[in-house]
Amino acid sequence: MTVGEGPLSPRHVAVIMDGNGRWAAVRGLPRSAGHRRGFEAARRLVEDALRRGVEVLTLYAFSTENWERPRAEVEVLLDLFADVLAREEERFDEERLRLRFLGRLERFPDALVDAMRRVERRTAAHDRMTIQVGVNYGGRADIVQAARRLAERVRAGELAPEAIDERLFADQLFTGGLSDPDLLIRTGNELRLSNFLLWNLAYTELYFTETLWPDFSSEEFERALVAFEGRERRYGRVTADPVEA
Ligand code: IPE
Ligand code: IPE
Ligand code: MG
């Protein structure tokens, strides 16, 4: 983050893709239909983000709390993840997109974990855009696992507690190595974070829209970018302009 970097396009955009169920309900369709259409919206957003030069796109697909949904819905979502991976793996590779999953993957079926790890390995060197997908992701769980990893290193005598600073801590998170989001978009008319990127959103600009996720269009994305460009990022200072500061 650079103070006074001006109204640029966001380099890192994070999205809470919410409202699939309601999109389906108003059409008298099962929630699964909303999730399928939600995937189409995500695909469209990837294209739009590429066009706008976004470097990192972080999508919230399944939270640690989403396991509390009816078993049938959880299964629909896991099947959809597996389908999407099988269908899109080739394309991620061809388009030089790096795919990375954030979250504790161990809770998913082995075949799905293998597919996720495979596509991560296959695309690891791609640099056109990084797509991070939160699956069984929780911001609190992420902070706890980071703390645990550091505690293990202290116990092993490899790390002094005084050496733990914000940068080292951030490196242990699932998002380790990547910048914080510049812009967070949440669709579906809920004004909350629902346990997404709790550490990383400290100075992120927030954009909320009533639009349900399957309806999130290229025009909506442009509106979010325009809103972002109008924000003044001060990072606690009096002015965003370092010359006047
Ligand atoms: C977001 O849509 C997708 C997931 C959380 C997996 P929802 O399924 O939460 O849809 P609503 O909020 O019930 O409409
Ligand atoms: C947040 O949406 C999680 C994802 C979009 C994956 P939820 O629908 O789970 O959030 P709440 O329950 O409305 O807070
Ligand atoms: Mg929801």
Residue 3 included in any domain: no
Q: What is the CATH number of the domain that holds 176?
A: 3.40.1180.10
In the structure, ligand 3 is a single-atom ion and the residues with CB under 5 Å from it are: 18
21 Cα to the center of ligand 3, angstroms: 7
Q: Tell me, what's the pLDDT at 13?
A: 98
Indicate whether residue 184 lines ligand 2 (CB < 6 A): no
Active site residues: 18, 66
CA-to-CA dists, residue 200 to 80, 179, 188, 196, 221, angstroms: 27, 8, 22, 9, 21
Residue 4 included in any domain: no
- Enter the pTM of the model: 0.95
Q: Residue 102, SS3?
A: strand
Residue 148 included in any domain: yes
Q: Which tens digit of pLDDT belongs to each residue from 114-166?
A: 999 999 999 999 999 999 999 999 999 999 999 999 999 999 999 999 999 99
228 Cα to the center of ligand 3, angstroms: 24
Mean pLDDT calculated for residue range 172-190: 97
Indicate whether residue 18 lines ligand 2 (CB < 6 A): yes
Residue 236 included in any domain: no
Residue 245 included in any domain: no
Count structural domains, the chain. 1
Residue 115 included in any domain: yes
Residue 40 included in any domain: yes
Atom of ligand 2 nearest to the CA of 61: 6
Strand pairing report for 205-208 and 183-186: parallel
- CA atoms of 237 and 22, how far apart (whole Å): 40
Q: Which tens digit of pLDDT belongs to each residue from 184-238?
A: 999 999 999 999 999 999 999 999 999 999 999 999 999 999 999 999 999 999 9
Per-residue confidence band for 8, with pLDDT thresholds at 50, 70 and 90:
confident
Question: Taking the CB of residue 18, how many other CB atoms lie within 10 A of it?
Answer: 22
List the domain range (segments joined by +) for residue 100: 12-229
- CA atoms of 90 and 86, how far apart (whole Å): 8
Per-residue confidence band for 3, with pLDDT thresholds at 50, 70 and 90:
very low
Q: Which tens digit of pLDDT belongs to each residue from 71-127?
A: 999 999 999 999 999 999 999 999 999 999 999 999 999 999 999 999 999 999 999
User: Which residues share a beta bridge with 100?
Assistant: 132
Tokens of 170: 């951030």
106 Cα to the center of ligand 2, angstroms: 21
Residue 179 included in any domain: yes
Atom of ligand 2 nearest to the CA of 60: 6
